[in-house]
Amino acid sequence: MKCDVFISYSRKDIVQAESLCKALTAAGVDYWIDRNIHGSANFLTEITHYISSCKVVLFIASANSAESEWTQKEVLFALKQHKEILPYRIGNFSFENNPELDFIFTNIQWIESEREVVASLAKLGCCGTTLIQAEPAPKPILTKTYKVGDYYNDGVREGVVFEVNADGRHGKIVSMRQSGNLQWSSNRAEQKRLIGADSETDGAYNMVKVESIIGWRDKYPAFRWCADLGEGWYLPAKDELFTIYKHKSKLNPILLDKLKLWYWSSTEHPSDKSLVGIFCAWMIRMNDGFTTDDIKTFDTIVVRAVSAF
């Protein structure tokens, strides 16, 4: 079964939730709330099914839901599913003890009445009646702006923002953790040729070059480590890595593994420092930003992954 609206709430707010449900029923809204789960039902299966199939997640935000592990999971899962989230606030409270929800709902335009909820759902095509649709109510947009040093978690990727665009809505994050010592390339034949990973600004471009090579996962350990974090992660290019260095004082307080030592970039350098036909790649020392190149076989360098959002 499907529903238009999934209601996420703390069961401590059942009185307010029931009142809202009456208003939704009167407006012809097709909604689902977990009071419909019977004892024999698989709770997680029901929750994930209805969030995945709904049009809108209606989040009842309160002091109780701010402390609820389940509401946090439901909101994060909804974000992962790219669902519209309608934030309905009851009472005065803050998410100061729940940093993930505090982060998600910073600077959000709250809805604060049942009438506004219904009007907003009508605009989203979730009402079976037009009686209340004519009343103007701005549609809250769940958007988040970021600055360098912000913690980022969209339910899929977790990291710290090291670069943002002008409006603060998009940018790049660096992974919370780093690898152990890895070679840029461990395959002798691959080390003796340039593969076209020569962008100094776009590590995603370099990553594509590597991933086009047959058997790349065994031949390029530094790149494999980044790819294993999941879709969208890549080894940063030289300039991206230097940007991370410039902002390390804002990043380190949040990172689980602090920035230090030498890091591989994904950018090749067309030199043969070893004089035995092995090409080099750029790397950066994070304590002072010193940038140099070394042979791809060098095995005392660590890796940090980045991803765009």
Mean pLDDT of 93-102: 78
| Cβ proximity of 73 and 22 under 8 Å | no
- Residues paired with residue 87 on neighbouring β-strands, in sequence order: 59
CATH number listed for the domain at residues 151-308? 3.10.100
Question: Is residue 129's pLDDT more than 60?
Answer: no
Mean pLDDT over 120-124 rounds to 88
pLDDT over threshold 90, residue 109 = no
Region of poorest pLDDT, from 28-37, 84-93, 206-215, 228-237: 28-37
CB atoms inside a 10 Å sphere around CB 69:
8
**Three-state SS sequence of the chain:** CCCCEEEECCHHHHHHHHHHHHHHHHCCCCEECHHHCCCCCCHHHHHHHHHHHCCEEEEEECCCHHHCHHHHHHHHHHHHCCCEEEEEECCCCCCCCCHHHHHHCCCCCCECCHHHHHHHHHHCCCCCCCCCCCCCCCCCCCCCCCCCCCEEECCCCEEEEEEECCCCCCEEEEECCCCCCECCCCCHHHHCCCCCCCCCCCHHHHHHHHHCCCCHHHHCHHHHHHHCCCCCCECCCHHHHHHHHHCHHHHCCCCCCCCCCEEEEEEEECCCCCCCCCCEEEEEECCCCCEEEEECCCCCEECCCEEEC
- Give 132-184 pLDDT, tens digit per residue: 444 444 444 446 789 999 999 888 899 999 999 998 889 999 999 999 999 99
Counting other chains too, the contacts that 278-282 makes at CB distance below 8 Å and 24 or more residues apart are 278/191, 278/192, 279/191, 279/192, 279/193, 279/194, 281/184, 281/197, 282/200, 282/238, 282/241
Is pLDDT at 7 greater than 80 in this prediction?
yes
Burial state string for 116-131 with b = 16 or more CB within 10 A and e = fewer than 16: bbbbbbbeeebbeeee
pLDDT reading at 40 higher than 70: no
pTM to 2 decimal places: 0.56
Which has the higher per-residue pLDDT, 156 or 229?
229
Question: For the ranges 50-59, 87-96, 197-206, 221-230, which has the lowest average pLDDT?
Answer: 87-96
Q: Sorting pLDDT into bands at 50, 70 and 90, what band is 44? A: confident
Residue 249 has pLDDT above 90, yes or no: yes
Average model confidence (pLDDT) for the chain? Answer: 87
CA distances from residue 113 to 19, 26, 90, 141, 299 in whole angstroms, order as listed: 11, 15, 8, 17, 60
The residue ranking higher by pLDDT, 42 or 122, is 122
Question: What pLDDT sits at residue 94?
Answer: 77
Superfamily of domain 5-123: Toll/interleukin-1 receptor homology (TIR) domain (3.40.50.10140)
Rounded to the nearest 5°, which phi and psi values hold at 139? -80, 115
The half-sphere exposure of 70 on its side-chain side, counting CA atoms within 13 A, is 14
Cβ 147 vs Cβ 163: under 8 Å: no
| Predicted confidence band of residue 38 (pLDDT cuts 50, 70, 90) | very low
Domain boundaries, the chain: 5-123, 151-308
Q: Which of 33-42, 81-90, 202-211, 258-267 has the lowest mean pLDDT?
A: 33-42
Give the separation between CA 111 and CA 20, rounded to whole angstroms: 13
- Does 223 score more than 70 pLDDT? yes
Q: Which of 5-9, 143-147, 178-182, 279-283 has the lowest mean pLDDT?
A: 143-147
Model pLDDT, residue 270: 82
Tokens matching residue 173 = 């994050």
- Read off the pLDDT band of 131 (50, 70, 90): very low
The pLDDT tens digits of the residues spanning 251-278 come to: 999 999 999 899 999 999 887 665 567 8
pLDDT of residue 239: 97
Mention every residue, 6+ apart, whose C-beta is less than 8 A from residue 246. 289
